[in-house]
Amino acid sequence: MMIAITRQVSPAIVRCELTHRQREPIDPERAAVQHRNYEHALAGLGCRIISLPVEPDLPDSVFVEDTAVVLDELAVVTRPGAASRRAETTSMARILAEHGPVAAIQAPGMLDGGDVLVLGRRVLAGLSTRSNREGIEQLRALLAPHAYTVESIPVTCCLHLKSAVTQVAPEAVLLNPDWVDESVFEDHRRIRVAPAEPCAANALLIGDSVIYPTAFPRTAARLEQAGIRLLTVDISELAKAEGAVTCCSLILRA
């Protein structure tokens, strides 16, 4: 069984951190409804949901992915690049410690979970405005005893590495070739986002299905043509806070 750790939407999401989007009005109640539907999608794919209580003073706390990198052998609690988000990791560390060993990134390292893509024993870490070389080096040192390799990849056109590429099948990735070097994924089948949908590369693989936003129908058609089974969700309100489908959960094995 898979466990999906989520957190309820904070009413303070209207004050979220933004890097690449213009600020738009966010309806917290609508965002909360969309988030509940997202949790239902996870449950429908066999995940047991651990829904953490709202953090009213932490605007971005619904985006739990950035607080940790979870592997079968170890959970690494991150040190987010946005200082306003660092308090989010305290409660997450306590929860993760109930399920296995936990380590943590230390200052001056910075690492957002959204910058970390795990492909088997190969871990790709985005060097971005939210994750620095020191954070990636610490991740490398923590994972080396468990036979993982960690490679850094520059991120310049988007918030996180997973804004540019995610895994959609054991052998396939979905990517925006303008935002990430395709040659890095030569061992995988590469599915490109539709040109009119540059932000469409974020997808969440659960078992043999993919949770995917309703906002990108052209790319969804490409995925379905490639044999990828989709479960679509509307996260349009969360997207105004630069959120995506991987951002809203941490997935671990029970």
What three-state secondary structure class fits 65? helix
Q: Tokens standing for 253?
A: 């094995």
The first and second tokens of residue 233, run together, are 């969700």
Residue-wise over 241-250: b if at least 16 C-beta within 10 A, else e? bbbbbbbbbb
One-letter amino acid for residue 23 of the chain:
R
Cis status of the peptide bond prior to 145, with omega within 30 of 0? no
Annotated catalytic residue within 47, 158, 199, 247:
247
207: left (phi over 0), alpha (psi -120 to 50) or beta: left
Q: Is 160 a catalytic residue?
A: yes
Two tokens at 208?
A: 């043999």
Q: Could you give the CA distance from residue 128 to residue 244 in angstroms, rounded to a whole number? A: 17
Task: Quote the DSSP letter at residue 101.
Answer: -
d(CA 123, CA 138): 13
Set 35, 47, 158, 160: catalytic member = 160
The catalytic residue positions are 160, 247
